[in-house]
Amino acid sequence: MADAKVTALTELNATPAGADELYIIDKSDTTDDPAGSSKRISRTNLVGGLQAEPAEGAFVDGDKTKLDGIATGATNNTGALADLDTVGTAQIDNDAVTAAKLADTAVVAGSYTSTDITVDAQGRITSAASGSGGGGNPFGADHVVATSGGDATTLGGLTVSAGDTIYVKNSTTESGSVTISVDNVTIIGKNRNTSIGTANNDLILSGNGVTLHNININTGTGQLQQSGNEWDYENVDLDCNDTGGNNILISGDNGRWRGGILTNAATGTMSARSFRFNCQDCFFDNLEMNAAANASSVTAAILTVNSGPNQFSNIVVNGNSTSGTGGWAIYAQGDYSQWDNIRVELDSTSDGNGIQNASSNMSFSNITVTGGVTAFQVGGNNTTLNGFNRVCTNAAQRGVFLAASDSTLNGSSIRNFAASPSSYGVSVSGDDDVISGNRIEGFSQGVLVNASADRTTVSGNTLNNNTTPLSDSGTGTNSTGGNTT
């Protein structure tokens, strides 16, 4: 082969055979020249050397196996190429999605008050607008606001639906009687001076589950009628001005009234009950009842309870009761009812009476009666009267009259400070009554057992300063239990 320059050689236009040779300079051999020695190498040896010593990052046979693995379909970043079409939560790092990656909605960024919002199935807020409540204040611009009935200047002007909450911002003057007959309605006043005025008409609540809170009801000569069951009143006052009576008529059962001042400002003589409860299984607590008119009979008592059982606690009744001895501050019926912490204050010491019960198995404890003639008349069998307190300043004033049988008077203080008393501390007409552990002082007759009484027990009482400590005309009276005279 003749000598020639490489650039002058004929180009091979076919794939070289394995025995074909290439010209190379061996840099490791400086025999011919410091830059290296000229040598030749076959194509076979060249390719073999390249496969045996791949460069850093070069594609090798092992990489082919990885590609084969993708084709067979494992998951979580090592799976088939089809897995790359779906990204699951496992492929997204926590907190990796930034605000810029979220799709915009139609909501305009900003602050909203009393907001009306729309939320889609993914939990995104898709619309928002400020409401009319004014920073969350439920008492809107008008007098009365209802959740579904809109605004109105009167309660009667609202369309009320079941479950509504009615907010009363300003006192209303109704044009006539108002009836709410749907269930689970709540009426809330801005404060206890906020009044619903029915202008001598009635407020009738006949739906079940009615709630009144923090409000005044002003019925004039009208009535508050609660006939629906499961009612709940809290801090509810009532003002009326009517001698016709029945200014409150509660006939719905399973209710409770906690906190309230009930006032009938009418003067003259009552012809019917002022505050009347014909309910069962109800609870009354922390109520004050005031009446200026005279209660001339038991049917015109300030507070009348006609059924039961009910529970009364922390009740104050203030009244005039100056129309003879037939009127009563409280007339209580309802078997198994309980009365605790009751105070009756009557203006006169010569007219009117305190409490009369007329049902059986009733319990009274911590009762105080001031004023009036007879403080307490027990008219129901199996009545228990504990912790009764009575102070008399008029010679004719009396303590307790036990007119029924199987009743007990215990742990009470009944005293008269009049100069010349003419009355009794305790009078007994029923059978099997027990008078035990009481302080009865200052009366003409401390304990008077009438001829109609059988088997009365009088024991362990302090009967000092009575003209006659025990006057016994009954049959089988037991007075050997250590009374102090």
**Is the residue at 391 inside a domain?**
yes
**Is the residue at 20 inside a domain?**
no
Confidence of residue 439 (pLDDT cuts 50, 70, 90): very high
**Is the residue at 118 inside a domain?**
yes
Ranking 68-82, 173-187, 380-394 by mean pLDDT, the lowest is 68-82
**CA distance linking residue 245 with residue 264, whole number of Å:** 9
Backbone angles phi, psi at 8, to 5 degrees: -95, -5
Q: Residue 71: is its pLDDT beyond 80?
A: no
The last residue of a domain, from among 137, 161, 186: 137
pLDDT at 79: 46
Check whether residue 131 and residue 161 sit in a common domain: no
Domain that holds residue 328: 144-481
Check whether residue 255 and residue 321 sit in a common domain: yes
Check whether residue 180 and residue 121 sit in a common domain: no
Check whether residue 132 and residue 231 sit in a common domain: no
Check whether residue 193 and residue 268 sit in a common domain: yes
Look at residue 72 and give its three-state secondary structure: helix
Backbone angles phi, psi at 197, to 5 degrees: -100, 120
pLDDT at 177: 92
Check whether residue 133 and residue 149 sit in a common domain: no
pLDDT at 137: 57
Residue 208, domain CATH: 2.160.20
**CA distance linking residue 131 with residue 446, whole number of Å:** 72
**Is the residue at 409 inside a domain?**
yes
Ranking 3-17, 19-33, 61-75 by mean pLDDT, the lowest is 61-75
Check whether residue 222 and residue 326 sit in a common domain: yes
Check whether residue 188 and residue 130 sit in a common domain: no
Q: How many domains does the chain have?
A: 2
Q: What is the mean pLDDT of the chain?
A: 85
Ranking 70-74, 108-112, 151-155, 451-455 by mean pLDDT, the lowest is 70-74
**CA distance linking residue 449 with residue 472, whole number of Å:** 5
Between the ranges 4-8, 123-127, 161-165, where is the mean pLDDT highest? 161-165
Task: For residues 8-15, give the mean pLDDT.
Answer: 73
**Is the residue at 294 inside a domain?**
yes
- What the block records as the tokens of 117 is 């919002």
- What the block records as the tokens of 369 is 């009666």
- pLDDT tens digits for 248-279? 999 999 999 999 999 988 887 777 778 999 99
Check whether residue 471 and residue 381 sit in a common domain: yes
Task: For residues 37-51, give the mean pLDDT.
Answer: 71
pLDDT at 4: 65
247 or 182, which is more confident = 182
Backbone angles phi, psi at 228, to 5 degrees: -75, 155
Confidence of residue 101 (pLDDT cuts 50, 70, 90): confident
**Is the residue at 15 inside a domain?**
no
**CA distance linking residue 238 with residue 252, whole number of Å:** 18
**Is the residue at 377 inside a domain?**
yes
Check whether residue 395 and residue 439 sit in a common domain: yes
**Is the residue at 81 inside a domain?**
no
Check whether residue 310 and residue 414 sit in a common domain: yes
Task: For residues 111-139, give the mean pLDDT.
Answer: 70
Q: Residue 209: is its pLDDT beyond 70?
A: yes
Q: Residue 244: is its pLDDT beyond 90?
A: no
Check whether residue 344 and residue 375 sit in a common domain: yes
Percent of the chain with pLDDT over 90: 49
The last residue of a domain, from among 137, 152, 182: 137
110 or 215, which is more confident = 215
Confidence of residue 419 (pLDDT cuts 50, 70, 90): confident
pLDDT at 44: 76
pLDDT at 135: 42
Percent of the chain with pLDDT over 70: 84
pLDDT at 134: 45
pLDDT at 54: 56
Between the ranges 5-14, 22-31, 375-384, where is the mean pLDDT highest? 375-384
Backbone angles phi, psi at 395, to 5 degrees: -60, -30
